[in-house]
Structure formats: C-alpha cells, structure tokens
Amino acid sequence: MTFAMAIGTEYYLALSALLFTIGAGGLLVRRNPLIMFMCIELMLNAANLAFVSFGKEMNDLGGQLSVLFVLVVAAAEVVIGLAIVVAVMRRRPKASIDEVSVLRG
C-alpha cells in the first residue's frame, strides 16, 4: 500500500506523454496502415491514462467518465477504420498508405 502511494501522479503523466509521443511518431513514420492504426490506438490510450490520472488526482469522476466515452469512440472508429483497411488490402495486398490517395482534391 505504501509502495503504491509512492508512485505519484507525475509518473503516470510522464508515461502517458511517452506513449503519446511514440504513437504520434509511429503514425508519422510508418506506412503500413495496420501499424498506423495501432499507433492511433496507442495515442488514444495515452490520453485515457492521462484522464484517469487527473481524475484520481483531482478526485473528480469526470476523468473516469471521459475514458468511457473515448473507449466507445475508439471502438466505433476501429470498426470503420478496419473495414476501410480490409477493403483496401483486398484490392492491393501490399499497398502502402501513400498509394491510397485517389480521393485527393
């Protein structure tokens, strides 16, 4: 218990920032759609972690509540995103994300 108390909120926030940066970096440098997708998930969960940490720190249920919303949005996003990815992969199995630019203006 005492050990758990020793880990302060700042550690969680640092971890959250780290995860978010990894996600953002991965999103920018990788070209495989699936990996990019995972990076987005990573960023979302980094945000979740920050929410929970602040919620605990400020003794506010709002933080926990926001996580639930993020989860719902993420789930919906995964459904649509994966469907698109699958559709793209079916047509061009080895496609990199840069090749999927038919909808440019």
Q: Which residues bind to another protein, rule: CB under 8 A?
A: 24, 27-28, 31, 36, 97-98, 100-105
Rounded least distance, CB 76 to another protein, Å: 19
Rounded least distance, CB 72 to another protein, Å: 22
First vs last C-alpha separation in the chain = 58
- Of the pair 21, 64, the CB lying nearest another protein is at 21
Rounded least distance, CB 100 to another protein, Å: 7
Residues 55 and 63: beta-carbon distance below 8 Å: yes
Region for 98 from its dihedrals, namely left if φ exceeds 0, alpha if ψ lies in -120 to 50, beta otherwise: alpha
